[in-house]
């Protein structure tokens, strides 16, 4: 798709909105899960430099919800339901590690390429790995150097990708930080996920 440049006279707010809309489309259609990556790629596609005032994650999320509502409503609703169902099963299996659901499956912005994102709290990530192996579940260890994160594991469940972040127990009592910037991440326990599934429109 050829790049299109905005006219020099375009206002800063118009540019921010254009970048937010383009970033939302990239996240919805191409499966980019990181807000920063999406907004930088969108800015380049519009001929804007990274020195321009880029939209916030919240602005992109607003555009993402609008995009999904217009172009992916039925597909996206079904995807979110399936991801939440998968999340509940994994959370019940790993209940001893105080699992929380977070990310797009929780806030409803998950698209066709989104993974279930679950936070666990354990004395050691090896305890989680042993638990998975004891149930015959294979996984991959991700390379993630985020401060405070013990390990990140990726596995497939019901043909859906599941990303598990393992933190030390003390982190459960601290407000969760958003690795992509912006406001803190929302997270809920299994009981709340079950309630979301019950409340979902048929």
Residue-range domain boundaries for the chain: 12-71, 74-199
List Cα–Cα distances, 189 to 90, 166, 180, in angstroms.
12, 15, 22
- CA atoms of 201 and 183, how far apart (whole Å): 28
Percent pLDDT > 70 in the chain is: 85
Q: Is the pLDDT of residue 6 over 70?
A: no
Please tell me the predicted confidence (pLDDT) of residue 161.
94
At 112, the pLDDT band (50, 70, 90 cuts) reads confident
- DSSP-derived pairing of the beta strands 116-121 and 160-167: parallel
Out of 49-53, 143-147, 152-156, give the one with best mean pLDDT: 152-156
Q: Is the pLDDT of residue 180 over 90?
A: no
Average pLDDT over residues 97-106: 94
| Average pLDDT of every residue of the chain | 84
28 vs 187, higher pLDDT: 187
Please tell me the predicted confidence (pLDDT) of residue 5.
47
Joined tokens for residue 44:
């380049």
Average pLDDT over residues 135-161: 91
Q: Is the pLDDT of residue 146 over 90?
A: no
**For residue 100, what is the enclosing H or E element?**
strand 100-102
Please tell me the predicted confidence (pLDDT) of residue 62.
87
Q: Could you tell me which CATH number the domain at 74-199 has?
A: 3.30.460.10
Please tell me the predicted confidence (pLDDT) of residue 188.
96
Q: Closest by alpha carbon to 13, among 45, 56, 57?
A: 56
Please tell me the predicted confidence (pLDDT) of residue 39.
87
Q: Is the pLDDT of residue 131 over 90?
A: yes
* pLDDT tens digits, 14-26: 888 889 988 888 8
Q: Is the pLDDT of residue 75 over 50?
A: yes
Please tell me the predicted confidence (pLDDT) of residue 32.
78
Please tell me the predicted confidence (pLDDT) of residue 14.
86
Please tell me the predicted confidence (pLDDT) of residue 202.
55
């Amino acid at each position: 798709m050829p790049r299109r440049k905005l006219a020099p006279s375009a206002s800063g707010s118009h540019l921010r909105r254009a970048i937010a809309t383009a970033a939302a489309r990239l996240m919805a259609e191409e499966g980019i899960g990181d807000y920063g990556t999406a907004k930088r790629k969108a800015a380049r596609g519009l001929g804007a430099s990274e020195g321009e005032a880029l939209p916030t994650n919240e602005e992109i999320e607003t555009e993402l919800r609008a995009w999904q509502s217009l172009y992916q409503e039925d597909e996206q609703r079904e995807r979110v339901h399936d991801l939440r169902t998968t999340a509940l099963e994994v959370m019940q299996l790993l209940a001893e590690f105080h699992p929380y659901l977070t990310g797009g499956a929780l806030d409803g912005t998950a698209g066709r390429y989104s993974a279930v994102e679950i936070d666990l709290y354990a004395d050691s990530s090896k305890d989680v790995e042993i638990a998975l192996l004891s149930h015959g579940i294979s996984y991959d260890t991700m390379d993630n150097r985020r401060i405070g994160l013990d390990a990140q594991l990726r596995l497939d469940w019901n043909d859906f990708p599941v990303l598990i972040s393992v933190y030390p127990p003390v982190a459960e009592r601290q407000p969760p930080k958003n690795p992509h910037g912006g406001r803190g991440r929302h997270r809920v326990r299994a009981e709340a996920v079950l309630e979301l599934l019950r409340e979902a429109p048929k």
